[in-house]
Every structure is written in C-alpha cells, then in structure tokens.
Structure 1
Amino acid sequence: MHPEVTRAAVLREFAAPLEIADVPLPDDLPPGSAIVRVTRTTLCGTDAHLWQGAMPFVGLPIILGHEMAGEAVALGPDAGRDALGKPVELGSRVVWSESVCGHCHACTVLNEPVLCAQRGYGFAQRADRWPFAIGGLSRYAYVPPGAHRIVLADDLPDTWAASAGCAVKTVVRAFANAGGVEPGATVVVQGAGPLGLVATAYARASGAGQVITLGGPANRLALAAGFGADATIDVTDVTDPDERVAQVEELTGARGADLVLDFAGAPTANREGVLMCARRGTHVVVGLAGPDPAPVPMDVVMGRELTVVGSLNGDVGDLARALRFLSAFADRFDFDALFSPPVGLSGAERAIRDMASMAAVKAVVDPGLD
C-alpha cells in the first residue's frame, strides 16, 4: 500500500503565498508508473517565473518543482527496471525524466523524445486533477509510465542528482547539439546562473582552451572562475551589449569564439552571441529572450558561415550523461557551492523568492524536513 495523500506546497494564485495542503495521490498505479518519496528538490529559474506569473497560460493550482530525486515507495506493473536496465526496487534512489508518449512523430521518426508532442511538463499538471502530484514541492510524487527513471549510484548526493533533472541535462544537451567542444577551442558562456555555471565547468572539462563567462552578480562570477572560467565579464558593470562584444573580441585576439552558448535569455543575448562568434563558429540558443528580442544580424550569420542551433531541455539520455558528468568530476569542481542549505515545504516560498531575486544560485527543498 502506498500513501493516499501527500503534503505539498501548492501554488493557487500567481505571486501569492504557497498553500501547504494535502493533495491526493493516484489510487491505482498503471503499468510502468511509480510513487516516490521526494528527498530533494532543486529549484529552477522557471519555477520562479511560474510563481511570478510570467507564464499566465498555466492553469492553477499546481505543485512547482521539476528537478527532484527520491526513493521508490510503490511500483506499478512492469516498473521494475530503469532506463539502463537496472532493477528498481522499493527503496531505490531514483531520478526521472519528463514523461513522453513513445509513439508520436518526434518519439519515433525523429527519435527525439525531448520534442514529444505530449511531453509531461510539470507545469502542465494541475494539482486538482488526476494524477495530482508530479511536482517536487511535495513529500510524495507520482512518476508517470513514460517518465524514464534512473537508479542513482550510492555515492551521488541527492541534491546533485536532482539538479541533473533539468539544469545539468539541459547543459549536456546544448553541448551535444553544438557538436561538442573541439580540443583547445574558445568557448563563451552567456549567463552565470545555474546553467551557465555548470556550462562553464562542462566546457573546461571538455578540453576548451579558453572559457569566458558573462553574467552577474560578482559572487556568481567568482563561482564561474572556480569552475574553470579564464575570464569573466560582469554584465552589471559592462551594461552596453556592444562593449561586451568588444571585450570578447579583445580576449580572443580579435578572432571571436568557436562556440557561444546562450544560457542567459536576455533580450540582446542572441545578437551578442552571434557577434561574438568566430568565422565558422556556433551559437547555441537555450535561453528565452522574451517578447522583444534584439534582431539577430543575419548578414553576420551568412558572412561568417555561422551555425545557429536551438536546444531544448533534455531527455533521459541527456539525464544519464548529466549524472555521469557529475560523478566523473566530483573531485574537480565544487558542485556543492551551487546549492543553498535545504529547507522544508514551509520554506519553499522563500526559496522561490530567493531564486527570483538571485539571492540563491540554486535553492534546495527537502519536503521531509517539516
């Protein structure tokens, strides 16, 4: 028997306090589904944007949080293996991907489940409709059949593993979509949030010869330096986009960068990113520039023969590679520096506010603390 209800922090009104309430859990578990006890949830910028009302099309109430790790407490039929073929048992520590249908054009013909037409994003699940609780700000969460799970290595911390569920796998996919990092290449990372900081480490670990990170505030750029940035540009000091481009040009000996990745989502980021590229360079678009982005100079794209690539989140393969990256470089990078001390559900709203104000790099919630 699994729990019939779960305590959760529920968003019922945008920019309003979260309500701590009991939410139902599914009575019967379909084949491939599971119930987990959430042990860690790491918050994402999207959670803050949702709370603020920046995505007003989202139906309320919802349970925020889409980066989580937990222990399996109930398994539906045919749920006894993870995506890598390892056994999933009661008590297994797992992370999981967003659910996918497995039969649409993207899942089958394109073989790109990240583009699934029915992908189960957490913010699409209302907390007053079945299956109620799939978000991370909850003591227990339902894992749908199409959400592929991965059993965690014993030495991988829950907090790191949770962050792999969106932030780290998004970075991994962005580099893969760019074709990787050529040995000795110059890489520019736009943004010093969680994704930009992880990307800085990933670029350094991938053999980049020069890594330049743009962002702010100063404490985040200090983290970027610790994660391998050779140079940083504080966008709160250098507020002119053209000056930022000029500084990258100077740092690269007037050649530009081989690879520029936008994890900032600022209105001018893609224009800057293209202008920062060297000839035959690549610009990867991950951030959302908002409703009024600066025009991208297509003459520069053509004249330098640039490649501009879009990259969206990640699938279970990217999740597996993200976990492998965290494990492989656990002794090289201080990943713990990304995370705030965990708080319980009663502190979840404060944690979201800290993400919105940039007081926290990566806020952490342990729903079992209260």
Structure 2
Amino acid sequence: MTHRPRVTAAAVLREFGAPLELEELPLPADLPPGAALVRVLRATLCGTDAHIWRGLLPFASPPLVLCHEIVGEVVALGPYAGQDALGRPVEIGTRLVWSESVCGHCHACTVLREPVLCANRGYGFTQRADKWPFVIGGLSQYTYLPPGAHRLVVPDDIPDTWAAAAGCAVKTALRAFANAGGVRPESTVVIQGAGPLGLVGTALARSSGAGRVITIGGPANRLAIAARFGADVTISVEEVTDPDERVARVEELTEARGADLVFDFAGSPSVNREGVLMCGPRGKHIVVGFAGPKALPVPLDVVMSREIQVIGSLNGDVSDLDRSLRFLSAFRGRFDWDAMFGEPVGLAGASQAIQDMASMAAVKAVVDPALDLEEISG
C-alpha cells in the first residue's frame, strides 16, 4: 500500500493583515472516488491572494491556506482517479495542475456547458482550514485535490513555476481574449494593469497580431517587462495620475479613433469608466478585474452611442488551463516568462511573499514548500 501523509505543514492565515502562521494541519484520512493528495512542488501568488490577506473579499473567512496556483506531484490516489481530463494516465509521482472543482450537475455545468460558472465551484479561498478537507491551497507541503477538480498531466518541458502560474494568471488572460472574440490583425489593444494578468495579456495581444499594444499600469519595473512582452507604448499610472489624462493619452495614440479592445486586468475604482471611454466605435471592454465597492459609474451613454460591448470574464476552466500550458510552451522562445517571477521562498517566507504582492514589491511571488521543511519540522 502506498504511504499516505496524514498531516501537512502549512502557512495559515488566521487574521486578516497579520503574518501567516506556520502550523501542522490534518489531511483527509480517506480519499473519495476521484480525489488525490499531492505534494506541492511550486505555488505562485496572485493579486487575489493579496486581496484576501488584506480582508478585501467578503466571501473569505479565516483560517485559510491561501494560493490557488499550484503544481504538485501525486502521493496518493482515491478510486477512479487514474486519468487526467484528456485520458492520460495518472499515478503516484505524476506531476499535475488542476482547475477549481466543479459539481458537474448544475445549470452552468450541464446546460450552459460552462464549468467556470458552476454554482458550486470549489475555490480554494472558500475552504476553511478547520473543516474537512482542511487544505486545498498551495501554501502547504501537501494539498488535497477534490474529485471535481479537472486535472492535467504537465508536459516535461514546462518548468514548475510556469505550470503553477498557468492555473490562474495565464488561463484567466487566455479566457478573456477568447471571450472577446480574439484579436483582429492590426487592431489596437489596451491592457489596463501591469501585474501578471496584464503582462500575459500584453504578450497575448502581441502574439495575436495586434497592430498596436498599449499597456497602462505600474510600477516602472512591471512596465519594463510589458515593453519586453510587446507593448508599443506604456503609460505609467504613477506619472499620469489623472484618469481623464490617461483616456486622453489613448485618444491621442489612436488618432482619436479609440481602441478596438480594452482589457481590464487592473481592478481599480476608475478602471471600467476609463476602459469604456478608451473604446472606439464598436469597441469591446472586457472586465476581468475587481473594481470594488467604490467603483466609478460607467458612462452608459457612451456605451450606447458608440455601440460598445462590455464583456465579463471570470477566471478559466480546464480547457483554458490546457491552452495555457500549450501557450507557455509555444512562445517560450519569444517571451521571457521567468521575468515575471521572484526567487522561490519556503513556507517560512510565504508571509513576506504575500505582503510583497500586496505592496506590489513583487510581480509574482513563488513559494517552494520543500525549501524550509526541515527547519520548520525542527
């Protein structure tokens, strides 16, 4: 019989805004059909983790094990868990990525055939660390892979860090471009935000044949990466602080025609108002970011008079995850994906890593739980 770990070291969020606490948490004693336990190889943090840590998302309640961008190695399998979503064999030692769990029987899953909209979707930040199955987040030595989480075997040529980031940052950007209907050759694309989503979006716009790519965000080091990823023009929100001035700058750059596509990967209070005003006639504004309760009103008269489409886009499902892995591999020679990632830290460094994400000191923080496990256990 394969050894099955019963407990795991984890960095636990006990209080919003406070340092994470290194603890030992239980793992499920039995694995139901389709479930698995994995050893976390790499976890990458995103803006959502920082928002939860700060207490900005009301649906998250401590104690929590954060991080939903994970690549792991299988250490135990439940019954009927021996295949991935593409029918490839999964066994002890297989390296996997996976989507959030879905129920498979709600209206979105069955009628709409859109599992990303599942009414019972199992996001990691809704799983309390004091209730079964305790850990489905990435800031842990081991984590639980639920039965409804569609998993994929990771190709050998994909590094752990890239594979982890595919689980949210890359698949979310890819889905947003798909929901927008793609990029027409020579169109103007505006990317709002220069975090990981915005950087991947910049690379997607360039690789899709956009004629002009404009990336808006900050700080300067992120905009420098955006330029390397294909932005023709970058606009710093630290230098151009007035939203109306940013709109005017895009109008100037587009010879007063406006943009064809404007992607909100920023999620600030003014971003959707700006995005609509940046769109030209029959342009599209794709909303991915979370603007919060103080969002400025969107000018619906402009939406009507220019026939602008405002399109929502939420995360991604296993199909987007599969395309993410292939996208990262296909364009590895064109874009330096490693430029987005910081040096890996262990679980003891996870607390500082999430603070660095919240302060924007890090572009994308990376946690490798194996780095300090001996120190923690000692």
| TM bracket (short chain) | over 0.9
Q: Equivalent residue of 2:335, what SS?
A: coil
Which of the residues 73, 76, 82 maps onto 1:74?
A: 76
Aligned-pair identity (%): 74
When normalised by structure 1's length, the TM-score is 0.99
2-structure distance, mates of 1:246, 1:59: 41
Structure 1 residues 146 and 57, CA gap change in structure 2 (3 angstroms): closer
Deviation at 1:51, TM superposition (A): 1.1
Contact preservation (8 Å) 2:273, 2:299 = yes
Q: Does structure 1 residue 194 correspond to structure 2 residue 219? A: no
Deviation at 1:185, TM superposition (A): 1.0
Deviation at 1:48, TM superposition (A): 1.0
1:59 alignment counterpart: 61
Deviation at 1:18, TM superposition (A): 1.1
2:285 alignment counterpart: 283
Q: Does structure 1 residue 133 correspond to structure 2 residue 139? A: no
Large movers: runs of 4+ above 4 Å? none
* C-alpha distance after superposition, 1:306-363 (max 9, x if no partner): 1110001111111111111101101100000000000000000000010011000000
Instruction: Give 1:28-177 correspondences, 5 Å limit.
Output: 28-177=30-179
2:370 alignment counterpart: 368
Unaligned runs of 5+ in 1: none
2-structure distance, mates of 1:41, 1:250: 41
* C-alpha distance after superposition, 1:62-113 (max 9, x if no partner): 1011100010111111111101111111111110000000000010011111
Unaligned runs of 5+ in 2: 373-378
Deviation at 1:52, TM superposition (A): 1.3
Q: Equivalent residue of 2:132, what SS?
A: coil
> What code does the residue aligned with 2:301 have?
D
Contact preservation (8 Å) 2:59, 2:126 = no
> What code does the residue aligned with 1:112 have?
E
State how many pairs are aligned: 370
> What code does the residue aligned with 1:338 have?
M
* C-alpha distance after superposition, 1:264-300 (max 9, x if no partner): 1111111111111111110000111111111111111
1:306 alignment counterpart: 308
2:376 alignment counterpart: none
> What code does the residue aligned with 2:32 have?
P
2-structure distance, mates of 1:206, 1:85: 30
Shifted more, 44-53 versus 338-347: the winner is 44-53
Q: Equivalent residue of 2:133, what SS?
A: coil
1-structure distance, mates of 2:346, 2:49: 16
1:297 alignment counterpart: 299
Deviation at 1:16, TM superposition (A): 1.4
Q: Does structure 1 residue 210 correspond to structure 2 residue 207? A: no
Structure 1 residues 287 and 64, CA gap change in structure 2 (3 angstroms): same
Deviation at 1:49, TM superposition (A): 1.2
Contact preservation (8 Å) 2:13, 2:53 = yes
2:28 alignment counterpart: 26
Q: Equivalent residue of 1:62, what SS?
A: coil
> What code does the residue aligned with 1:212 have?
I
1-structure distance, mates of 2:95, 2:329: 15
Shifted more, 335-344 versus 83-92: the winner is 83-92
> What code does the residue aligned with 1:201 have?
A
Deviation at 1:172, TM superposition (A): 0.5
Contact preservation (8 Å) 2:264, 2:272 = yes
* C-alpha distance after superposition, 1:22-45 (max 9, x if no partner): 111111111111000000000011
Structure 1 residues 101 and 57, CA gap change in structure 2 (3 angstroms): closer
2-structure distance, mates of 1:240, 1:19: 40
Q: Equivalent residue of 1:160, what SS?
A: helix
CA RMSD of aligned residues (A): 0.8
